[in-house]
Structure 1
Amino acid sequence: MSIRNSLKDLEKESVEQGKKISQIILEDQSAEIDIPCSEVFLRMTSNFHVMKESVTEGTENGKAFSSGTCGSDSRRLHDYLRKGHNICGDILSGALIKSLAVSRYNSCMGRIVAAPTAGSCGIIPAVLLSVMEERGLGEHDVVMSLFNAGGVGMVIASRATLSGAEGGCQAECGSAAAMAASAVVELLGGSPEQCGHACAIALKNTLGLICDPVGGLVQVPCIKRNAMGTANALVAAQLALAGIQSAIPADEVIDAMKAVGQKMSSDFKETAKGGLADTPTARRGMG
């Protein structure tokens, strides 16, 4: 299998073959690991089920954070919305609950899917599950959209990085939002080109986002950045589906993200030496 390092090429191949991006990636993976497409699909389905379980567990599980820096934010938001306090609409509000739930469960050492990293694990599940529920979509199509997200992630990893230690949070929550946005566009019938625009819009919205974990833990501010990334992905998908295009092609946005990450001080790349990690409150300790 050729290394996927260009969304433009992937979009072109999708159009020429008359296949969705997800189908191309599924077939690539099947050839790469030499197992049938049906088996690869079942493995992705298993990942999807873990995502669903992490939403449930993150919302309902009462397990405490050992560090004491975070609480049951997903439950608080859920209870608040049940009282009729909803300014974001049902789909975004539901997605925010899910993103907080998965991130919380990760911080509780629960079983999650790194999508593409543990620090950004809440965005893709939250976006896809919320759209699935809102539109009444079947599991098969949603699982297939995960292959689209994976294809975008492979391109970002090839051209730049998915690591906060290399590129800051733009490489984690930014990449997750870009992957989720592209996946949703395909899931809702968008074209391969629209998938690329959604990816570009989501990623450029996070350019320069630093990684500054308080206490070196993926909790503060990471959990709330998952919520932000979830909203970003939905916004980017909505714009792309409406026919709004990114003036800068997705591949160039990815390259720009890499360049920004290379110029970023190491204090802002997962070292807990700068940003929010270096505030008086963080230095005093939050536990």
Structure 2
Amino acid sequence: MSIPYAMINAYGDGPFTGNPAAVLVIEQDQLRDPQLQQIAAEMNVSETAFIYRGATNNQFQLRWFTPQVEVNLCGHATLASAHYLYHFGIVPTDITIHFHTLSGELVVSLHDGVLRMRLPQESPVACSAPSDLITALGVIPRAVSKNRMDYIVELADEQDVRQLQVEFSLIAGLDARGVVVTSRADDPSIDIVCRTFYPRIGIDEDPVTGSAFCALAPYWMKRLRNNTILKVVQLSIRGGSATLMLEDEIVIQEGSCFVWAEGSLHI
């Protein structure tokens, strides 16, 4: 069996930037779940996306796997999946794509060459910081919140976020998918910065995390009351950026993607 695939950098505009996702378009029942997990482990990037063809040319089922587990929500691999469908001509560029996922229907469209993705808000609520979280980060947070997925930790400034060295084993033991660390940006053309850590699901530090932006957008909009649009930069080694907006219970994310490899899997 030969299955085409592409490696796509999401929230980046060239090779070696953004967050890489492997994307495959498959038929229903073509592969069993254990095979999907094996492929994701073999790809060994933070997420492998499997797109199932639907009844119409713009309706698809979408699933995401880390090298270790299937996840409920992944922003960068959704953006990459839409880019795959547009780039390879599976969906015309003037058509909106609807993905049916474990987090409901996710919608992506293309505007002047920029992908615009609509994901659910994941607003965090203020909480007490577990002692292991403080120990793992080695700094005193300005504020700690939590949503259904992650701890959101605000630090004093961008330098604290950049210099952070974490104990992954302690983060993996927390009662959360992972930890999102954030602060205001030093650069006045950027609003906020962040880094994200997910050792519990096999990703020590994620390059760029769309699902984390679903928490950061409502979190920072409340604090930056004059802002209706946020520019976020993720300070991973690879780096990446997005523009965020809120609409009702939706976080609109705009970002770019780049196809840096393509080929076929032989199973």
Query: TM-score over 0.5 for the alignment?
Result: no
More helix by share: 1
> Normalization by structure 2: what TM-score?
0.27
